[in-house]
C-alpha cells in the first residue's frame, strides 16, 4: 500500500487553504488613500449620521488600476441630491477632480442593482 496518498491529500488541503486565505485578503483591500476614506467618512457622518458608506467597483480590486470612485450610501430614507453635490464639491476642492459616483439606497431597498454591488462592496 502506498503511504503517499494521505500526504497528497494533506498537501492539497494546505494549498487550498493558502489559496482561500490569499483571495480573502485580496478581497478585503480597497484602493483608496486614507485621507480620501477619512474625507468621505467624516463628510457623510456630518451630513447623514445614520448612513453607511460602501466602496464598490474596480477600486475594491487591488490588481486593477485606475477607475472611478464608486460609493453606495445606505440610509433610512432617500437622500436629497444636494447633499451629494455638497460632498462631491468638497471632495474636488480637497483632492482635485476624480470621477466620483454616489448611489443611494435605503436600508430596506431590494433593487437588483443594490444586490449586485453589495456582493463585493466594502464598508468604509
Residue 5 and residue 55 in one domain: no
Contact criterion met (CB below 8 Å) for 37 and 124 = yes
Residue 19 and residue 38 in one domain: no
The number of distinct structural domains making up the chain is 2
pTM over 0.75? The answer is no
pLDDT class of 69 with cuts at 50, 70, 90: very high
- What is the spatial distance between Cα 54 and Cα 65, in angstroms, rounded to a whole number? 19
CA angle 69, 43, 84 (to 5 degrees): 60
Residue 89 and residue 115 in one domain: yes
Region 8-22 average pLDDT: 53
Residue 70 and residue 13 in one domain: no
Residue 49 and residue 21 in one domain: no
Residue 113 has pLDDT above 50, yes or no: yes
Amino acid at each position: 500500500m502506498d503511504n503517499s496518498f494521505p500526504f497528497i491529500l494533506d498537501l492539497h488541503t494546505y494549498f487550498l487553504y493558502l489559496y482561500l486565505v490569499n483571495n480573502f485578503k485580496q478581497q478585503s483591500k480597497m484602493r483608496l488613500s486614507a485621507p480620501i476614506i477619512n474625507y468621505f467618512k467624516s463628510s457623510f457622518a456630518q451630513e447623514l449620521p445614520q448612513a453607511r458608506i460602501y466602496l464598490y467597483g474596480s477600486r475594491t480590486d487591488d490588481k486593477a488600476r485606475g477607475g472611478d470612485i464608486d460609493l453606495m450610501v445606505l440610509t433610512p430614507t432617500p437622500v436629497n441630491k444636494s447633499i451629494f453635490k455638497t460632498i462631491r464639491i468638497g471632495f474636488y476642492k480637497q483632492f482635485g477632480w476624480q470621477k466620483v459616483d454616489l448611489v443611494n439606497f435605503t436600508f430596506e431597498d431590494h433593487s437588483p442593482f443594490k444586490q449586485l454591488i453589495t456582493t463585493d462592496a466594502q464598508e468604509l
